[in-house]
Amino acid sequence: MMINIMGKALKQYCGFLKIALLIVFTVGLVSGCAGYKLGPVGGAIAGEKSVQVNPFVNQTIEPRLGEAVTSAVRKRIQTDGTFKLSTGGTADIILNGVITQYNRSPASFQPNDLISVRDYYVEMKVEITAVERLTGKVICNKTVTGRTVLNAGNDLSSSERQSLPIIAEDIARKVVSAIAEGGW
């Protein structure tokens, strides 16, 4: 008889516990998504504004960086959907960029040789300026840094060429995000 009473009490307690956990989970889920907004930030409508991307100026001694970053930013604008890419002179926003630094530093060395580098950190810094064409108002003026890890392998120059699109895409993602979150 005592076991029966304790069994009923335990079932009631488990039922109460399930309901309490369900309520806590629901409140957590609802409050966690409370600040999320679908679509572009800042109240803009997707594709409402157009961006003209001028060729990025390369101030480093490393060749082909400007073309790679310019191409990656244009491609990112097209795939992101927050802005339309404009190729004419009627864009709402003009984007200019200057590549100021390209650094390669050792990340790891060969196991049996502490002089030979196995992997490198590659870092690129780009100063971007986004300006509204009609008003001249600066929307975004900041330095964006892209990073990747480069496996040196047997041919360092080939490895660097293969890593260039990766670091350019990292820069492009950050540039488009910076413009989208600019001071609208």
Could you please report the per-residue DSSP string of 74-106?
HHHHHHH-SSEE--SS--SEEEEEEEEEEEEEE
Q: How confident is the model at residue 184 (pLDDT cuts 50, 70, 90)?
A: very low
**Does residue 32 share a domain with residue 55?**
no
86 vs 90: CA distance, rounded Å: 7
**Does residue 84 share a domain with residue 106?**
yes
**Does residue 74 share a domain with residue 21?**
no
Q: For the chain, how many structural domains are there in total? A: 2
| Mean pLDDT within 27-43 | 55
**φ and ψ at 171, to 5 degrees?**
-60, -45
Residue-wise pLDDT tens digits, 64-97: 999 999 999 999 999 998 999 998 778 999 999 9
**What is the CATH classification number for the domain harbouring 136?**
3.30.160.150
Does 41 reside within a domain?
no
20 vs 5: CA distance, rounded Å: 23
For the entire predicted model, the pTM comes to: 0.74
Residue-wise pLDDT tens digits, 109-161: 888 888 888 899 999 999 999 999 999 999 999 999 999 999 988 888 888 88
Q: How confident is the model at residue 56 (pLDDT cuts 50, 70, 90)?
A: very high
- Residue 67 structural domain: 50-180
Other CB atoms closer than 10 Å to residue 112's CB: what's the count?
Answer: 6
Does 142 reside within a domain?
yes
Q: What does the DSSP 8-state code read for residue 53?
A: E
Is the pLDDT assigned to residue 39 strictly greater than 60? no
Q: What percent of the chain has pLDDT over 90?
A: 56
**φ and ψ at 72, to 5 degrees?**
-65, -40
CB burial of residue 61 (10 Å; 0-12, 13-18, 19+): exposed
175 vs 172: CA distance, rounded Å: 5
CA angle 165, 169, 170 (to 5 degrees): 120
Burial of 166-182, coded b for 16+ CB within 10 Å and e otherwise, reads bbbbbbbbbbbbbbbeb
**Does residue 120 share a domain with residue 63?**
yes
**Does residue 21 share a domain with residue 59?**
no
For the CA atoms of the chain, what is the radius of gyration? 26
